[in-house]
Amino acid sequence: MSICIKIDNLHASYGAHRVLNGLSASIPEGKLTAILGENGCGKSTLLKALCRLIPSPAEVVSICGSPLSAMSQRALSQKISLVSQFTEPLPLSVFEYALLGRTPHRPLFSLSDSNEDKALTNSILSHLGLSHIAHKALSDISGGERQLTAIARAIIQDTPIMLLDEPTANLDLRHQESIMQILKSEISTHNRTVVMVMHDINLASRYADYLLLIKDGTTFNEGPASELLNADLLSQLYQLPLRTLSDDKTALYIPNN
């Protein structure tokens, strides 16, 4: 298994409040890794630390074999794209927002967008079924469309690593399936490494290749999803008795009450 992100004893805090307490993990390349754990355990904080959005000792993280501490912000933005849980309705159109993904690849001091970048943006928006709203304002589209636009921007950024913070939260079933299928396609077609914070265990069981389980700011367990997805381990993680409902194709994890 080729390792894409290596984390060794990572700590991170918000002021005096420590959130990550010596977390270590090895994220495999070209797989969909789901990060699971209770609210407040440090899942979103980990994504922010990987993007240097919060202070943390960057020397304990390596990205594609290079120390995070040695990367400029421009170089890091060429390696990692981030889709936050909520996309702010900036005063931009869908096309303009998606085109921002090309910013790390522009020549330094360039303020204009190339025809190639515009063509790529149109192509990705078309591929994701967003062409019909390309010139609408972000504030005038639905939450599902806004989340899909954020994923389009990340794809247009063309990074080997995509980090996503609950990209399917508050979306209907159709949009959830659409987003997960798009991400799996990016992995199979472009060998991207996708790391997702998730709360839906059953969605993770259907799509994740690898799991990172976090509890109290540190690694509770990690490994292939096929090995870690079981009611006993998940019950310990969430401090809630769970049981499994399964057939020949899938397994569901539900409260045991």
Residue range 184-205: mean pLDDT, rounded = 94
Contact 90, 60 (CB under 8 A): no
For the ranges 7-11, 30-34, 66-70, the lowest mean pLDDT is seen at 66-70
Average pLDDT over residues 41-58: 88
CA 179 to chain centre: 12
At 25, is the pLDDT very low, low, confident or very high (cuts 50, 70, 90)? very high
Question: Burial of 20 by CB count in 10 Å (0-12 exposed, 13-18 middle, 19+ buried)?
Answer: buried
pLDDT digits (tens, 9 = 90+) for 165-176: 999 887 888 888
* Average pLDDT rounded to a whole number, residues 220-224: 97
C-alpha distances out from residue 235 to 208, 240, 253, Å: 19, 5, 10
Which residue do the tokens 């869908």 mark? 94
Share of the chain above pLDDT 90, in %: 69
Q: Which helix (H) or strand (E) holds 235?
A: helix 231-238
Q: To which residue do tokens 């159109």 refer? A: 93
Residue whose C-alpha is closest to residue 19's, from 1, 37, 45: 45
Digit-coded pLDDT (tens) for 68-103: 888 999 999 999 999 988 767 778 999 999 999 999
> Cα 241 from chain centroid?
28
As a whole number, mean pLDDT of residues 34-45 equals 95
CA distance 163 to 184: 13
Q: How confident is the model at residue 58 (pLDDT cuts 50, 70, 90)?
A: low
pLDDT digits 0-9 by tens, 129-165: 999 999 999 989 988 888 899 999 999 999 999 999 9
Six token digits for residue 49:
């630390």
